[in-house]
Amino acid sequence: MRKFIASTVVAFMMVMPNSAHAVNDQDEFYQQLDLLMRIFERVRSEYVDEVDDKEVIEAAIQGMLKSLDPHSTYLNPDVYQQVRVQTQGEYGGLGLEVQMENGVVKVVSPIDDTPADKAGIQGGDFITHIDSKPVVGKTLTEAVKQMRGPVDSTINITVVREGETAPFDVEITREKILVKSVRHRIEDETIGYIRVTTFNMQAGEGVENAINSILDEAGDQLDGVVLDLRNNPGGLLDEAIRISDAFLSRGEIVSTRGRRRQNNSRWYATAGDMLDGIPVVVLVNANSASASEIVAGALQDHRRAVILGDKTFGKGTVQSEIRLGRSGDKAIRLTTARYFTPSGASIQERGIEPDIEVLFPNQRRLKARREADLQNHIINDQENQDRAGEFDPISEEELTEEDPKPAEGEPVVDVQLRHAIKLLKNMSSLPKAQVAELQVTKP
């Protein structure tokens, strides 16, 4: 009996510090909440001007989420509606993917064949003024509202672009934006070209239809396919998996890992490669992010495609959309997991290194901004991995010789697409077994 009591006392003493620690943490938590409410009451009662309670609370929520990482955010009813419409593939405006950075609107990417794209707006541009009114001090919601308006009305935006000595104004006429996320064509008679601009709800089906159309048009003459994911900021995970599956016949596509068990998942390819082993080159650049990196990483790890271009953005985190309110008309987008490629490499902060690096002439002078440059980005604590591709990078000398900067007035040559076509043409001249060996093993 004494032994039982003694052991019980020891066990209780061992538990006490943890229990006390938990109680202290809980007390501190409630003290912080009380502090927040006290400050809020002081703002309401003593600020120089009367404040809008709703706006102040929204700002507090937004600040809390933004302190975690750049991609966790609060979606009020207006923004949430915009997100839903954009994901479904139709909305009104200029045709821009944007985010807030350093108090101004940053262009993630213009959408192909939209007013912004035709006006020459580029990924990485900063919009500092809208109709001569500064963006600084506005929320992203307010800025987006200001950029949207009636069809055929005009808007003037002031753009700051890296490499330009001064800001410049661009006048754009608003249109109804119908986001056609996938386009395709035949290049150089025997090369299929598929461009994916965003991973919306139509992207997976669009790629499958594009592959079938290319096969019907080119038939036995098809030497290869270029999958262009440049300036694609990402989108729906399901669509990235479906597109990857179109090119793979087996194996893991992507996995996610988070704190909670329900955020740990793996997705695998189904049997059947739509191209039946026909060579593929994937084009990427610094603005290829998230879902684009999932597709590029899956095809690279399985040696199903050659990745060509520039290192990708490095957004390797999963955001879960958690709906709020009785009507579900608002939500938070909260980072809940990380993406991992089939080899187990984390995309976060590092991105996908191309097998063959090919840069546009101006990219050698300008440093692109990526995930690692964003404030409060999640650090990738995974040990360094050898992500070198299976092909030697094209040298600076070779690029300089082959791709001189065009003279003023001459059209800009898409050097990355040109190299992709050349590579596929060269691969088509090899025996099929040798092409398969190139895609599976390193030289």
| C-alpha span between 423 and 304 (Å, rounded) | 14
In the residue annotation, 138 being an active-site residue is answered as no
Coil, strand or helix at 27: helix
The DSSP secondary structure of 349-415, one letter per residue, reads TT----SEE---GGGGTSPPP-GGGSTTPPP--SPP-----SSPPPPHHHHHHHSPPPPTTSPPP-H
Which member of 315, 330, 346, 355 is catalytic?
A: 315
Give the type of residue at 384. Answer: N
Which member of 69, 125, 245, 301 is catalytic?
A: 301
Which member of 109, 290, 292, 346 is catalytic?
A: 290
Under DSSP, the state recorded for 346 is B
Residues in Cβ contact with 219 at an 8 Å cutoff, skipping those fewer than 6 apart: none
In the residue annotation, 3 being an active-site residue is answered as no
Of residues 376, 361, 358, 375, the one with CA closest to residue 412: 361
CB-CB contact of 173 with 152 (8 Å): yes
Residue 73's DSSP bridge partners are 333
| C-alpha span between 312 and 372 (Å, rounded) | 11
| C-alpha span between 192 and 185 (Å, rounded) | 6
In the residue annotation, 244 being an active-site residue is answered as no
CB-CB contact of 203 with 168 (8 Å): no
The DSSP secondary structure of 250-291, one letter per residue, reads SSEEEEEEESSGGG-EEEEPPS--TTTT--EEEEE-TT--TH
* Token pair for 378: 């999640």
Hey, which residues are catalytic here?
290, 301, 315
